[in-house]
Amino acid sequence: MADADLRDLRVVGRAQRKIDASDKVTGRTEFADDISLPRMLYAKLLRSPHAHADIVNIDTSKAMALQGVKCVITGDSMPITFGILPVSQDEHALSPKRVRFIGDPVAAVAATSEEIATQALDLIDVVYQPLDTIANVDQAVSTSDPLIHDYGDSGNLHKLIDLEFGNVEPAFENAHSVREDLLFYGGNTHLAMEQHAAVANWTGDGKLTLWSSTQTPHYVHRALAKVLKLPPARIRVIACPNGGGFGGKSDPFNHEIAVAKLAMLTGRPVKITLTREEVFYCHRGRHPTLMWVKSGVSQDGKIEALHFRTLLDGGGYGSYGVASTYYTGALQTVTYEVERYKFQGARAFTNKPPCGPKRGHGTPQPRYALEVHLDKVAEDLKMDPAELRLKHLAPANSLTANYLRVGSIGLGACIEKAVSESGWHEKYGKLPYGTGVGIACSSYLSGAGLPIYWNDMSQSGVQLKLDRGGGVTVFCGSTDIGQGSDSILAYIVAEVLGLDPLELQIVTADTDLTPVDLGSYSSRVTLMSGNAALEAAERAREILVKHVAEKLKVPKTRVSFAEGRVFDVEDPENGMSFAEAVQISEAAQGIVGTVGSYRPPPSEGRYRGAGVGPSPAYSYSVAIALAKVDPTSGIVTVPKVWIAHDVGQCINPVTVMGQVEGSVYMGLGEALMEDMAYRENRRLVHKIPSMLEYKSPTTLEMCDVETIIVEDPDPNGPYGAKEVGQGPLLPLPPAVANAVYDAVGVRIDEVPITPEKVLKAIKDKARGKEGRYGPTSFPDIPWPEPTVVPPPWEGGDGRARKKTTTPAESSGGGSAGSGNRETGKPGART
């Protein structure tokens, strides 16, 4: 979008209140647990006290006999499996035979009160046959006995990936310098303030309604239809406003399906609200990830070859894990030029709550590893780490080695501004012992290019209804989780139709009323539902323009919309109210309504695995952290962070600022303290399933933040907008780790950067050792045959090179890429 066009905008880019701000500050927003229906029952789930066990018998008779108990169900009532990904349909609403982590639900009770339902849980007799547990990835790699699932790529390894974009080995041999590092990113969780809740209602006409605190009503709709064997047309899922999501409410959950089944069996509304402890068991948060990274760089730091290995601790079920695993290898290439790239990723099943998508989904871990690694590379080359990054940015409008299409990239401007605002050059390497600065960059998707289940349909849809009173109602399946997606719809439609956004009616996240939107995940909503809203609004505008132009007797190009009027731009007095414009249009052609839809451009990779990583646009961020390290205690404090984020174009700068600051906060928590810990010697019980013991930053730990907004509009975004909800989290952990090194000269290659780790590294260094805390080995993984995809500049067309027929050649990964090089199109990097 040209600057001249943006200057004419009246809503987009200007500070606005969110359309639901008044409800939010008065407590009127109705969250799922605020819903109460006549004759409503209350449900509780009985959860497994064993991390791994077979269920021998469940006796519910005593619970059923308790006064007030209306229904008790077990896994036999819902034998069909579900799961968010088509390739991982491995969950039961209630486990019928096998439990796989402490907290895995086995029975559900509906009673006239929550207290009675809770009492009834104690009356359910379950006989378990405990099994050996798989506590960690090392055990998962080394043994298939016991096997947690009967599917997966190898034993307890759920997923194995080996992708090769050019042959890295000769590039390592020819590089100026080569470096290898091992890093570990600990698991952490979303900790949304709202506990998950759902209310189900089954009416006599055979229709089911579920209200839920979900980020993905469409996928919940599909899971309910599958497990309950109901036609989707008889199921209505309404996503209530979420009291925070961060990815923790993006899977279909046991409790949503169980409560629906209980409503069907009792004929009464049933509500369930998880306790905070249960939310910890639901988890689906950050995968603990072990990483090995090797780069070969030129003398000035250009990455000639990059080899990345990740090993994810997935917990007891698949969840989004296959996608998460691909994501740990996908976005390394979109920030800096990488000539050749090899990625090997593995996800293990373990007997712990399942991991899944948390803000940044699978990318904060490798970003931490890459950015700490680059800090070390810069030191090896005696280069300033900011300069090294600035020198080798991925070019705008280019294809990466793994066939991701980089559109606009404001990363250079982000680095320059963050460096200048922070006084980087006066601080880096120059602050007194105990104080330091660190820099890191990152990038994130503005929406996953592909839907979760394969289909050719829209990923987001919007309907507009124009009322003859001048009211406009926007219908869209998108789900407001606090990020302001309802407001974004209003701003965009109001911009096109010249209205005040607060006057519009917004109806969202209701599978009966609204066209589909796939959900609030992968930072997709502003771009995708925004583009759908833009299309619907422009179509409505076109209709009004036609009839108003006829009425005013002016050419259509002269009809303009602003401040609730439609008028001749060359004679603004010659016009009518917006309501009158709708009325004459309705009189001429009938009711005025339009639709808009959005589907991302097809991904350019054609290899297996190419579906994870493509996005219509990538956002870019840079963080510079100032850290203070107390060398006697190891305590790290972060007084200040400078963050620059390329958002393409702000739709509403107020919500952009909120997302950036919130991301910095959450990234800081991950960097310093947040940790999902389990007692391996106590049968994998969660160590700290409470908000007190799971440490997250309070007002006293939160840093000052200076936010720099960079706007490098992307042609694929509505008005050029890209994402902001997740990207700015990513550079925080590596920036803090790099700042700790600048402060006290020790490398903390493991997140969170807790005082004991820092202190140990400082003490080691004082004893003449390396001064590093982090992992020391990467287990041997039975990697599969690599999928070999020559990069664009080596003649690749995005497809995997066909496997040769002779076994000798197909196993010769080391020689990959040598044959096709000559067919490379010169200047393929366009």
Site for other proteins in 189-248 (CB under 8 A): 190-195, 241-246
Distance CA 261, CA 272 (A): 12
Residue closer to other proteins, measured from CB, 164 or 723: 723
Tell me the CB-side half-sphere exposure of residue 58, using CA atoms within 13 A. 27
Figure out which of the listed residues 632, 681, 698, 776 binds other proteins, where binding follows CB under 8 A. Answer: 698
Give the interface segment with other proteins, choosing from 149-157, 185-193, 388-396, 755-763 (CB under 8 A): 185-193
* 112 binding other proteins? (CB under 8 A): yes
Give the interface segment with other proteins, choosing from 55-63, 524-532, 575-583, 649-657 (CB under 8 A): 649-657
* 23 binding other proteins? (CB under 8 A): yes
Cβ proximity of 396 and 407 under 8 Å: yes
Beta carbon of residue 658, minimum distance to other proteins (angstroms, whole number): 4
Figure out which of the listed residues 5, 8, 22, 505 binds other proteins, where binding follows CB under 8 A. Answer: 22
Residue closer to other proteins, measured from CB, 191 or 445: 191
Distance CA 537, CA 718 (A): 12
Query: Which residues 1-20 are close enough to bind other proteins by CB under 8 A?
Result: 15, 17-18, 20
Figure out which of the listed residues 379, 503, 706, 797 binds other proteins, where binding follows CB under 8 A. Answer: 706
Using alpha carbons, list the distances in angstroms from residue 479 to 225, 470, 528, 557, 732. 20, 26, 12, 36, 27
Q: Pattern of binders to other proteins over 265-304, x per CB under 8 A?
A: ----------xx----------------------------
Q: Which residues contact 141 (CB under 8 A, 6 or more apart)?
A: 155, 156, 157, 311, 346, 348, 779, 780, 781
Query: Which residues 336-375 are close enough to bind other proteins by CB under 8 A?
Result: none
Over its C-alpha atoms, the chain yields an Rg (Å, rounded) of: 27
Beta carbon of residue 29, minimum distance to other proteins (angstroms, whole number): 5
* 162 binding other proteins? (CB under 8 A): no
Using alpha carbons, list the distances in angstroms from residue 626 to 364, 422, 735. 20, 9, 9
Distance CA 10, CA 371 (A): 39
Q: Pattern of binders to other proteins over 498-517, x per CB under 8 A?
A: --------------------
399, containing H or E segment: strand 398-399
Figure out which of the listed residues 6, 9, 21, 595 binds other proteins, where binding follows CB under 8 A. Answer: 21
Residue closer to other proteins, measured from CB, 246 or 292: 246
Query: Which residues 656-675 are close enough to bind other proteins by CB under 8 A?
Result: 656-658, 660-666
Give the interface segment with other proteins, choosing from 321-329, 334-342, 481-489, 789-797 (CB under 8 A): 481-489
**Among 639, 397, 390, 617, residue whose Cα is nearest residue 522:** 617
Beta carbon of residue 189, minimum distance to other proteins (angstroms, whole number): 11
DSSP 3-state of 310: strand
Neighbours of 119 (CB within 10 A): 18
Tokens encoding 708: 């720099």
Beta carbon of residue 696, minimum distance to other proteins (angstroms, whole number): 6
Backbone phi, psi, residue 530, to 5°: -65, -45
Cβ proximity of 788 and 168 under 8 Å: no
Figure out which of the listed residues 179, 702, 799, 829 binds other proteins, where binding follows CB under 8 A. Answer: 702
Beta carbon of residue 222, minimum distance to other proteins (angstroms, whole number): 25
Backbone phi, psi, residue 57, to 5°: -160, 145
**Among 314, 334, 317, 346, residue whose Cα is nearest residue 162:** 346
Figure out which of the listed residues 681, 700, 780, 802 binds other proteins, where binding follows CB under 8 A. Answer: 700
Cβ proximity of 473 and 516 under 8 Å: no
Figure out which of the listed residues 363, 483, 522, 531 binds other proteins, where binding follows CB under 8 A. Answer: 483
Query: Which residues 743-802 are close enough to bind other proteins by CB under 8 A?
Result: none
Residue closer to other proteins, measured from CB, 42 or 253: 42
DSSP 229: T
Give the interface segment with other proteins, choosing from 89-97, 112-120, 219-227, 367-375 (CB under 8 A): 112-120
DSSP 3-state of 209: strand
Tell me the CB-side half-sphere exposure of residue 15, using CA atoms within 13 A. 3
**Among 734, 703, 731, residue whose Cα is nearest residue 645:** 731
Using alpha carbons, list the distances in angstroms from residue 182 to 190, 416, 697. 26, 29, 27
Size of the site for other proteins (CB under 8 A): 72
* 417 binding other proteins? (CB under 8 A): yes
* 491 binding other proteins? (CB under 8 A): no
Figure out which of the listed residues 89, 154, 696, 820 binds other proteins, where binding follows CB under 8 A. Answer: 696
Residue closer to other proteins, measured from CB, 377 or 488: 488
Beta carbon of residue 769, minimum distance to other proteins (angstroms, whole number): 37
Neighbours of 578 (CB within 10 A): 25
